[in-house]
Amino acid sequence: MTDLVIRDGTVIDGTGAPGRLADVVIRDGRIASIEAHAAGDAEAVIDATDKIVAPGFVDIHTHLDAQAFWDTTLSPSPLHGVTTVIGGNCGFSIAPLVPDGAAYLMRMLARVEGIPLETLEAGVPWRWRSFAVYLGALDGRLALNAGFLVGHSALRRCVMGPAAVGASADAAQTDAMVALLHESLDGGGMGFSSSWAPTHHDGAGDPVPSRHANAAELVALCRAVRDHAGTTLEFIPGVGRFSDEQVDVMAAMSAAADRPLNWNVLQVNAHDPEMSRSQLQASDAARARGGRVVALTLPQVLTMRLNLISGFVFDALPGWAKLIGLPLDERKKAFADPNLRRELDERANAPEAGLFRFFARWERLVVDQVFAPENEAHRGRTVGEIAATTGKQPFDAMLDLALSDDLKTSFMPPMPGDDDESWRLRNDAWHDPRTVIGASDAGAHLDMIDTFTFTTTLLGRAVREKRLRTSASPVDELTYRPARL
């Protein structure tokens, strides 16, 4: 007898074929047929009249590696139609592991991905050494299909120990990392990930291990991926327009592995349309060298909530990273120092801050969340408004408010991109073969962003509200294309 029939729904299968009225027949846990008016009895029937029946969505950029142990539903991803996730991105897998490596990886994840340290300590067993044993601890326990990339920072820490931060790898160390990557891919790793992002710092405020790797090390590791079928690459090259070095290394990584490389994240808006056009040229350069580079792009307006307790994004400002890495009491004392305030303000607005100067326009930040009752009246106000009513400079007003909340106050910068022209440009980008919709970061930064809603946003705002998607089906973009990649 058939297990289940989903009857009379409009089936959009993700292949690009038009939707059709059909029944989906499931037998022994698999789709047995998709046909009109399927005959026979079934143990269960779901009436899908006036509904769309589609494959589950595929999210190829998550950080659910640790959450998988304390939340086997991998929420909130399934609430947004996601049934397949890939973790281990940005070089931040939690395997392989050496005996003294757990403490370092926990503090790094807490800092760089905004996952509370106490949760990582209590919720993850940290008893494995190999990638295979890590996967074995999860096998059969998860509500979703899940695969995990092997992270560069974890490899470096295993092979180089504390020297993984601050040192280049010698030939023997590179060979050892390559061997460990082979072992991890044999054990079930889905590919290799790394990061050169200036926003990625470890628990001490130092650049994460992968940021100390040169191009030769990256290419050597990617060459190992070539020997393992079904694998892929993910990389964070930097922020903003790519340098020649960043373009070259992505092309070389993909060509060496003979695998596609996806990078995170392409943000498209009318405020600076040339930025995204420039970044997409990395795909053209890679194609000319025999590689394939694909940008992950969000289908939504990015909103951010920043705070000084995690310090993410702020720690990319020149001279801020080590301060953000201080214990809370020391950090609060530092932020209260008038002389240090002036220095931090100057550095945040100096030319070397580059694109991150956008976040240092303190007067434009909107107070989103407060914790001390006396601060409730400030919610929804800009820092500039608070400064004007208190007779303070905006930076002083911001820091005084944050200090009164033990640095937990969240501030929202005014992010561009919710205008009609930006939505049109994003729609163009989704149709570009050099992009794939994704970049959810599910499992990370829950105090800062809600990009895990990307599937719902595409279907709700872009398709229903904005009436975009004039060609191809959004189901294809959320199923077939990321699955193939």
pLDDT digits over 70-121, tens only?
999 999 999 999 999 999 999 999 999 998 899 999 999 999 999 999 999 9
Q: What pLDDT is recorded for position 100?
A: 87
Answer whether 436's CB lies under 8 Å from 294's CB. yes
CA 320 to chain centre: 22
For residue 309, tell me if it sits in a domain.
Answer: no
Among candidate residues 366, 388, 412, the one where a domain is terminated: 412
Residues 270, 335: one domain? no
Residues 258, 336: one domain? no
For residue 473, tell me if it sits in a domain.
Answer: yes
Check whether 421 has a pLDDT greater than 90.
Answer: yes
For residue 362, tell me if it sits in a domain.
Answer: yes
Q: What pLDDT is recorded for position 39?
A: 86
DSSP per-residue codes, 455-467 = HHHIIIIIIIIS-
Q: Are strands 42-47 and 57-59 parallel, antiparallel or unpaired?
A: unpaired
Among candidate residues 376, 391, 412, the one where a domain is terminated: 412
Domain count, the chain: 3
Separation CA 37–CA 50 (nearest Å) = 15
For residue 380, tell me if it sits in a domain.
Answer: yes
- Domain containing 358: what range? 314-412
pLDDT digits over 244-292, tens only?
999 999 999 999 999 999 999 999 999 999 999 999 999 999 999 999 9
Measured in degrees and rounded to the nearest 5, phi and psi for residue 311 equal 75, 5
Residues 13, 48: one domain? yes
Separation CA 453–CA 239 (nearest Å) = 22
pTM confidence score? 0.94
Residues 282, 205: one domain? yes
Residues 89, 214: one domain? yes
Q: What CATH number is attached to the domain comprising 224?
A: 3.20.20.140
The SS3 call for residue 377 is helix
Check whether 471 has a pLDDT greater than 90.
Answer: no
Residues 268, 350: one domain? no
Q: What pLDDT is recorded for position 51?
A: 96
Question: pLDDT-derived band of residue 41, with 50, 70 and 90 as boundaries?
Answer: confident
Residues 81, 172: one domain? yes
Q: What pLDDT is recorded for position 447?
A: 87
The SS3 call for residue 88 is coil
For residue 23, tell me if it sits in a domain.
Answer: yes
Q: What pLDDT is recorded for position 189?
A: 98
Separation CA 222–CA 249 (nearest Å) = 11
Residues 76, 124: one domain? yes
The four Cα atoms 317, 320, 321, 325 give a dihedral, to 10 degrees, of -150
pLDDT digits over 203-251, tens only?
999 999 999 999 999 999 999 999 999 999 999 999 999 999 999 999 9
Residues 70, 187: one domain? yes
pLDDT digits over 326-336, tens only?
999 999 999 99
pLDDT digits over 344-389, tens only?
999 999 999 999 999 999 999 999 999 999 999 999 999 999 999 9
Q: Which residue pairs, CB below 8 angstroms and at least 24 apart, start in 367-371?
A: 367/401, 367/409, 367/410, 367/411, 367/412, 368/305, 368/410, 368/411, 368/412, 369/305, 369/408, 369/409, 369/410, 370/401, 370/405, 370/409, 371/405, 371/406, 371/408, 371/409
Measured in degrees and rounded to the nearest 5, phi and psi for residue 335 equal -70, -20
For residue 308, tell me if it sits in a domain.
Answer: no
Residues 212, 135: one domain? yes
Residues 107, 189: one domain? yes
Residues 335, 278: one domain? no
For residue 451, tell me if it sits in a domain.
Answer: yes
DSSP per-residue codes, 179-217 = HHHHHHHHTT--EEEEE--TT-B-TTSSBPGGGG--HHH
